[in-house]
Amino acid sequence: MGVLRTPQFTFRSKPPLRRNARAVSELNLKIAGRDVALRIRRHARARRMILRIDPKDGAVVVTLPPYGAADDAVRMARDRADWIGARLDRRPAPIMFVEGGNVPVLGRDHVVRRDPRVLGARIEAGTIVIAGRPEHTARRVRDALIRRARDEIVRRVGEKTAQAGLKAGRIALKDTRSRWGSCAANGNLNFSWRLVMAPEFVLDYVIAHEVAHLGYHNHGPAFWRLVEVLCPGLDAARAWLRAHGATLHLYGPSSS
């Protein structure tokens, strides 16, 4: 079997691009014998239509130039139904937060168990202990992970900003699709709460990366030197994210 490559269509006409043109719309289609979400993105720098499968939720994503039509995206998805079906068949199944299941916390598996004596949920050595009705299990586990993520990230941001002589603004946790972290021009930092499931050296790298952006709003040599100071051995963390990052999005419900 040959390699499945992402199909690309090129537009012939290229009118001027709007600098900030970026919008997302979503609709449901029947493709390859199944119901799929088609996510249509417009991006100012896109020169052609690009089709891919979002590894985090299995949506079919078509990126258009700002002047591309939604009908073109639908047509492309239907024309590539076999490619889409093959990719979806290879996509791993979601990993639900259930009693008795394993959930990684800082890279180490924790077993979810129920104890009616606890309030809400708490993370202990090797276990995530929850109370309440079974139908609330996924939400309670997710909430416990988000609380732990906040504690870990806030502490580590504090340590690394002190080390670098920098100051961070507000720290927010999100369930982002495309970024593990980001740094705004005003110094506010955003992180994916799902990083708490990754090994500690990976979490440290993402935090170091965003803290370094407080001093350098680019990816130049000085930026990477600071990241290396804040997180020695960053190459291993970047390799882990490339190999395993998408798996973190298979766990449990979203936080939306």
Residue spans of the domains in the chain: they are 8-90, 102-248
Q: How far is CA 57 from the centre of its chain?
A: 10
pLDDT score for 101: 95
pLDDT score for 2: 38
pLDDT score for 254: 62
Q: Residues of the chain with pLDDT > 90: what percent?
A: 63
Hey, what amino acid is at 132?
G
Q: 147 or 176: which carries more pLDDT confidence?
A: 147
pLDDT score for 255: 56
Give me the chain's average pLDDT, please: 87
pLDDT 10s digits, 100-136:
999 999 999 999 999 988 888 899 989 999 998 888 9
Distance between CA atoms of residues 4 and 111, nearest Å: 37
Query: Is the pLDDT score of 148 beyond 70?
Result: yes
CA dihedral 96, 203, 236, 210 (to 10 degrees): 130
Q: What is the CATH code for 102-248?
A: 3.30.2010.10
Q: Which of 14-18, 32-36, 225-229 has the lowest mean pLDDT?
A: 14-18
**For residues 175 and 192, is the Cβ–Cβ distance under 8 A?**
yes
The band of 162, judged by pLDDT with boundaries at 50, 70 and 90, is very high
pLDDT score for 3: 36
pLDDT 10s digits, 187-198:
999 999 999 999
pLDDT score for 229: 97
The band of 13, judged by pLDDT with boundaries at 50, 70 and 90, is very low
- Rounded to an integer, the average pLDDT of 162-183 is 94
Of 110, 112, 109, 108, nearest in space to 98 by CA? 112
Query: Is the pLDDT score of 177 beyond 50?
Result: yes
Distance between CA atoms of residues 123 and 139, nearest Å: 14
